[in-house]
């Protein structure tokens, strides 16, 4: 019991339990009208050029908040270069995107669909939204008093507001708050290893990751066939420091978010743990150790909020048609 309390005390210096809600985004209160609008946008495939790709397709709340392919496909089966991360709890991340591109929240929200997979184009998206009275009313309700409420930036704000509701409290949070039975002995052993071996050096904070960028392959080349041939996270070429600074992703819901790493090359969580141990920490974890850490990581699988689909307004004669090719 003394040991359990001491482990919890130590853990609380590195991690914190998930908040019940996110009241502020970029310093402004999240409003219900923003959330309602954001939920509409999140599930609307008509915002995409092809009329068939919603945010929820690559960041799917039914499957852990992420996609299920190594990298996402966009318009006309174009592939983006990197794995779509989970949006569950993502509004608590301070570091967004694998390579730290972004500055502010609207830019972050729009970068992916508008650039990487070329899913949507901003002008067309605005025209789609402005063509439907149901959206005009929803934007006016979310952004009262604005002369020109339908803009990419307001859409991004509403999407971020909706995403801020996608919090998934987990057994680990229950345990951090004092519920001893929430973590099995194996999970507590895994947690102790997770801290002792240095995993928590990058995967810390409320999201156990998602708040900082780190050079990859700081220790040595991982000896496994699971490496991608080129580029990105585990490049075999000599790394240029800046180029190979990558985000430590959140480990919340990691049991649900395979495939792993920035290129989505590894499907097994224990294998991903082993690779990280060797590549980043120079630690040859035994299978038992990797399994214990995996048992701990499983306690980060959270309880999503009720996920309701919106009922979206009908398109009108003014709505741009989807691009068929």
The residues binding a copy of itself (CB under 8 A) are 43-46, 50-52, 57, 60-64, 67-70, 72-73, 76-77, 255-256, 258-259, 267-268, 301, 304, 306-312, 314-315, 317, 321-322, 324
Here the tokens at position 42 are 């999140």
Smallest distance from the beta carbon of 21 to a copy of itself, in angstroms? 20
Which one-letter DSSP state was computed for residue 256? G
Lookup result for tokens 């490049």:
235
**Strand partners for 25:** 28
Smallest distance from the beta carbon of 133 to a copy of itself, in angstroms? 13
Nearer to a copy of itself, 50 or 174 (CB): 50
For the question of residue 117 being annotated catalytic, the response is: yes
Nearer to a copy of itself, 46 or 188 (CB): 46
Select which of 34, 117, 189, 289 is catalytic. Answer: 117
3-state secondary structure of 173: helix
Contact 174/61 with Cβ under 8 angstroms?
A: no
Smallest distance from the beta carbon of 50 to a copy of itself, in angstroms? 7
123 upstream amide cis, omega within 30 of 0: no
Nearer to a copy of itself, 18 or 192 (CB): 18
Smallest distance from the beta carbon of 213 to a copy of itself, in angstroms? 27
Nearer to a copy of itself, 63 or 243 (CB): 63
Here the tokens at position 262 are 């920035």
Here the tokens at position 260 are 């792993």
Cα angle value 155/157/163 (rounded, 5°): 105
**Strand partners for 246:** 214
Comparing C-alpha atoms, which of 198, 210, 201, 234 is closest to residue 300?
210
Mind telling me the catalytic residues? 117
């Amino acid at each position: 019991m003394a040991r359990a309390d001491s482990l919890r005390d130590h853990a609380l210096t590195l991690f914190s339990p998930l908040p019940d809600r996110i009241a502020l985004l970029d310093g402004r209160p999240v409003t219900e009208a923003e959330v309602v609008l954001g939920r509409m946008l999140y599930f609307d495939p008509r915002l995409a050029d092809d009329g068939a790709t919603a945010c929820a397709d690559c960041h799917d709340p039914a499957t852990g908040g992420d996609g299920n392919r190594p990298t996402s496909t966009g318009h006309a089966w174009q592939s983006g270069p990197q794995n779509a991360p989970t949006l569950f709890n993502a509004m608590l991340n301070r570091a967004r995107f694998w390579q730290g591109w972004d500055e502010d929240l609207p830019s972050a929200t729009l970068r992916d669909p508008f650039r990487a997979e070329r899913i949507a184009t901003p002008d067309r998206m605005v025209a789609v939204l402005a063509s439907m009275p149901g959206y005009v009313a929803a934007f006016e309700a979310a952004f009262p008093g604005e002369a020109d409420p339908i803009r990419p930036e307001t859409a991004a704000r509403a999407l971020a507001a909706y995403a801020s509701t996608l919090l998934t409290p987990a057994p680990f949070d229950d345990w951090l708050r004092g519920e001893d039975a929430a973590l099995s002995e194996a999970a507590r052993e895994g947690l102790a290893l997770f801290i002792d071996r240095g995993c928590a050096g990058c995967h810390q904070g409320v999201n156990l990751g998602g708040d900082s960028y780190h050079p990859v392959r700081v220790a040595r080349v991982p000896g496994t066939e699971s490496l991608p041939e080129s580029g990105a996270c585990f490049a075999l070429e000599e790394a240029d420091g800046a180029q190979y600074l990558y985000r430590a992703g959140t480990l919340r819901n990691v049991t649900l978010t395979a495939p792993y790493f920035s290129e989505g090359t590894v499907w097994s969580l224990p294998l991903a743990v082993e690779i990280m141990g060797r590549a980043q920490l120079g630690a040859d974890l035994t299978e038992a150790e990797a399994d214990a850490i995996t048992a701990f990581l499983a306690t980060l699988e959270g309880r999503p909020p009720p996920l309701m689909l919106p009922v979206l307004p009908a398109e009108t004669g003014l709505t741009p048609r989807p691009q068929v090719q």
